[in-house]
Chain A
Amino acid sequence: MDIKNLTIKDALSAFQNKEFSPDELRSEFLKLIKKENPKLNAYLEVFRKAGPASPHPHSAQSADLRAMGDPQSSHPLYGVPCAVKDNILIENTRCTAGSKILEDYVSVYDATVIKKLREAGAVFLGKTNLDEFAMGSSTENSAFGPTKNPHDPSRVPGGSSGGSAAAVAAGLSVFALGSDTGGSIRLPASFCGVVGLKPTYGRVSRFGLMAMASSLDQIGPITKNVYDAALVLNIISGQDKLDSTTAPKEVPDYTYGIDDSIKGLKIGVPKEYFALLSEASGEGEGKGLDDDVRNAVNKAISNIKSLGAEIVDISLPHSEYALAAYYIIMPCESSANLARYDGIKYGFSIINKLKAPIGKANRGSSISRSDIGTKNLLDVYLESRGKGFGEEARRRIMLGTYALSAGYYEAYYKKALEVRTLIKKDFDEAFKKVNVIVGPTAPTPAFKLGEKTDDPLSMYLGDIYTVAINLAGVPAISVPCGFVNKEGNDLPIGLQIIGKHFDEATILKVGRNFENN
């Protein structure tokens, strides 16, 4: 059986036609992961035993439904394997967030999205790699080594949900969950040539997602096509009393009408998205738009036009300020959220190091046993956090703490929140004229491992097209729109389709029409 290209729809119909069973499919995936994951490092942990991680197909309830002949009616993802980003909790399994500070942390409960997927019958294959605490655009900030891009292993998969995107792109899972704070689903989807959807803020519960920037974080699906993204969104959406920011809105069936024509739909193309200098001619100096990306996205726009949609030139005048506003707001919120990792309650702690017998955990460490009695509370904080967090996490904690500190709050944080208002207004105005907005997901295709690790700002610039969407809270999807050849390898490019608040249905429809034609 060829499982690499299997979509959710394929898997469900294969189960129905008794081509293979969920159990058989699961063990085929485990074999494939064992063989191919070492090359990619997409999974940090694989659930080899059908234990607490993937019990559902064996539960009494689903057995009864199977006996009734139609398990899928109430278990819409019955037996479908999925991968989960390792910042989303699955009860009784490790959840590291890609950080040394949570290396041995075990989840005590299920995230709401996991509970929902469980009830829908999905099977969890394992946890995927990410930039530490989802902070990064390349998955190189993981404490457990970078993930490689399946299209060219010398390049990054994008980040921070790089493990999830690489797993789906390499066919090591049918679908995956990611999280997106400033592009962390869409950017890796673009770099890996898969579909990635960031829902409207408030559409999907964040309960059980490790908080990075709470006013921006959203969980979403990474899938092989747009239809599958709609199927997963159906399951994970909805109000949750455990996340008070979820909207009290009904969840439609996102597959309904997804194949309808987009004739007459108004598609906005922001002039600011294409005003960047050309990267290839060298004028961009790392801040520009790659010519191949520009061409591929322009071609995608003419394809959408040929399907009967109307292309409308629009302006999002504050686009160029989104990145600076984002890189103030996000670290501020992150520095507050990451305060909980203190070496006292759980996770990496200097106290454990001090308690360990000499020669074991203390090997190579500068701490001597005689320190144990003399450490005060502040030392426990300073050393646990200083040694537990990686470089980028510490950089953002420092940045956020600085921007929120007395004397700087108004100049940075408040200013950024004001600019956020203007950015949101830009989208509100644009959506009075158009149904969706399209543009590139990223200014370049996947870059080389190590290319940007020494220059944090150049790494941040890769998020130029994605962060404004999180600031405005609107939904957006990245859909593959072609390849460019770089050094003999075909690298995927993503088209970003942005929608109105809670109008995922329309961006899914445009994406579906585009991928089918």
Chain B
Amino acid sequence: MELSKKEIEHIAKLARLGLSEAEKKKYSKDLSGILDYFKKLNEIDTKNVEPTSQVTGLAGVFRKDENSHPIDPEKIKKMIGQAPEREGNFVKTKPILVK
């Protein structure tokens, strides 16, 4: 199966990855080869098989609704301080909605 350039561009946009033209070509080839290999799974009938997304058997692990993990202000400074644009203790981003 060959992925078209349009499909690659669509996936790259969903994944928020900027790709060059050469990279689009390369990933189209790579991904097609790997996807072909995945076809192997179609040899198995899984009609009556439940999916397994985790193997611990644990479910509904909750903690008390309280501040159990206080973070000291110095750490907050160090965390926020790694953002490229900030204002006080806030991370600044470009607007999502543009007029």
Task: Give chain B's interface residue range (CB within 8 Å of chain A).
Answer: 35 or more
Residues on A with C-beta less than 8 A from B83 are 344-346
Contact assessment for B40 and A321 in the assembled complex, using a CB-CB cutoff below 8 Å: yes
Residues on B with C-beta less than 8 A from A335 are 15
Of B46, B69, B78, which one neighbours A418 at CB under 8 angstroms? B46
Contact assessment for B44 and A419 in the assembled complex, using a CB-CB cutoff below 8 Å: yes
Within 8 A of A (CB), among B39-62: 40-44, 46, 49-56, 58, 61
Interface residues as binary, A89-107 with B (CB distance below 8 Å gives 1, 0 otherwise): 0000000000000000110
Give the distance to chain A from B92, nearest Cβ to Cβ, in Å.
9
Of A244, A321, A344, A416, which one neighbours B84 at CB under 8 angstroms? A344
Cα A418 to Cα B53 in complex, Å, equals 9
Question: Do A401 and B15 contact each other (CB < 8 Å), given the known contacts A247-B56, A344-B91, A473-B56?
Answer: yes
Give the distance to chain B from A512, nearest Cβ to Cβ, in Å.
26
Residues on A with C-beta less than 8 A from B33 are 456-457
A394 near B: Cβ within 8 Å?
Answer: yes
B82 near A: Cβ within 8 Å?
Answer: yes
Contact assessment for B84 and A343 in the assembled complex, using a CB-CB cutoff below 8 Å: yes
- Which one of A41-49, A180-188, A384-392, A488-496 is at the interface? A384-392
Give the distance to chain A from B43, nearest Cβ to Cβ, in Å.
8
Contact assessment for A345 and B12 in the assembled complex, using a CB-CB cutoff below 8 Å: no
A324 near B: Cβ within 8 Å?
Answer: yes
Residues on A with C-beta less than 8 A from B7 are 402
Question: What 4 A-B pairs are tightest by C-beta distance, nearest first?
Answer: A386-B18, A417-B51, A473-B55, A382-B18
A297 near B: Cβ within 8 Å?
Answer: no
Contact assessment for B14 and A377 in the assembled complex, using a CB-CB cutoff below 8 Å: no
Question: Do A324 and B37 contact each other (CB < 8 Å), given the known contacts A215-B54, A244-B58, A344-B93?
Answer: yes
Residues on B with C-beta less than 8 A from A394 are 17, 19, 23, 27
Contact assessment for A328 and B16 in the assembled complex, using a CB-CB cutoff below 8 Å: no
Cα A182 to Cα B78 in complex, Å, equals 33
Question: Do A457 and B55 contact each other (CB < 8 Å), given the known contacts A345-B82, A386-B19?
Answer: no
Residues on B with C-beta less than 8 A from A106 are 78, 82
Contact assessment for B44 and A318 in the assembled complex, using a CB-CB cutoff below 8 Å: yes
CB within 8 Å: A-B pair count: 157
Residues on B with C-beta less than 8 A from A416 are 41
A327 near B: Cβ within 8 Å?
Answer: yes
Q: Mind listing 30 A-B residue pairs with CB under 8 Å?
A: A105-B82, A108-B78, A244-B58, A245-B54, A245-B61, A324-B37, A324-B41, A328-B41, A346-B82, A347-B82, A355-B84, A380-B93, A382-B17, A386-B19, A389-B17, A394-B17, A394-B27, A398-B15, A398-B17, A398-B31, A402-B3, A402-B31, A402-B35, A417-B52, A422-B44, A422-B46, A422-B49, A456-B34, A472-B55, A473-B56
Residues on B with C-beta less than 8 A from A339 are 16
Of B11, B34, B58, B61, which one neighbours A405 at CB under 8 angstroms? B11
Contact assessment for A247 and B58 in the assembled complex, using a CB-CB cutoff below 8 Å: yes
Q: In the complex, which residue of chain B has the Cβ closest to the Cβ of A353?
A: B84
Interface residues as binary, A135-177 with B (CB distance below 8 Å gives 1, 0 otherwise): 0000000000000000000000000000000000000000000
Cα A245 to Cα B61 in complex, Å, equals 8
Contact assessment for B18 and A351 in the assembled complex, using a CB-CB cutoff below 8 Å: no
A127 near B: Cβ within 8 Å?
Answer: no
Cα A420 to Cα B8 in complex, Å, equals 28
Contact assessment for A215 and B55 in the assembled complex, using a CB-CB cutoff below 8 Å: yes
Cα A380 to Cα B91 in complex, Å, equals 14
Taking A418-B52, A422-B49, A456-B34 as given, write out 20 further A-B residue pairs in contact, using a Cβ cutoff of 8 Å, ordered by the A residue number: A108-B78, A202-B56, A215-B54, A242-B69, A245-B54, A321-B41, A344-B93, A375-B94, A376-B98, A380-B94, A381-B16, A385-B17, A398-B31, A405-B14, A414-B51, A415-B41, A419-B44, A422-B44, A457-B33, A457-B34
A interface residues, tally (CB under 8 Å): 68
Residues on A with C-beta less than 8 A from B35 are 402
Give the distance to chain B from A59, nearest Cβ to Cβ, in Å.
19
Contact assessment for A395 and B27 in the assembled complex, using a CB-CB cutoff below 8 Å: yes
Chain B positions near chain A (C-beta within 8 angstroms): 3, 7-8, 11-19, 23, 27, 30-31, 33-35, 37-38, 40-44, 46, 49-56, 58, 61, 63, 68-69, 75, 78-79, 82-85, 91, 93-96, 98
Give the distance to chain B from A19, nearest Cβ to Cβ, in Å.
40
Cα A201 to Cα B53 in complex, Å, equals 13
Residues on B with C-beta less than 8 A from A320 are 40
Question: Do A395 and B18 contact each other (CB < 8 Å), given the known contacts A247-B56, A324-B37?
Answer: no
A342 near B: Cβ within 8 Å?
Answer: yes
Q: In the complex, which residue of chain A has the Cβ closest to the Cβ of B53?
A: A417
A20 near B: Cβ within 8 Å?
Answer: no
Cα A328 to Cα B34 in complex, Å, equals 10
Of B13, B18, B84, B94, which one neighbours A352 at CB under 8 angstroms? B84
Contact assessment for B75 and A108 in the assembled complex, using a CB-CB cutoff below 8 Å: yes
A383 near B: Cβ within 8 Å?
Answer: yes
Residue among B35, B68, B91 facing the most chain A CB atoms (10 A cut-off): B35
Interface residues as binary, A405-433 with B (CB distance below 8 Å gives 1, 0 otherwise): 10000001011111111101000000000
Residues on A with C-beta less than 8 A from B52 are 417-418, 420-421, 424
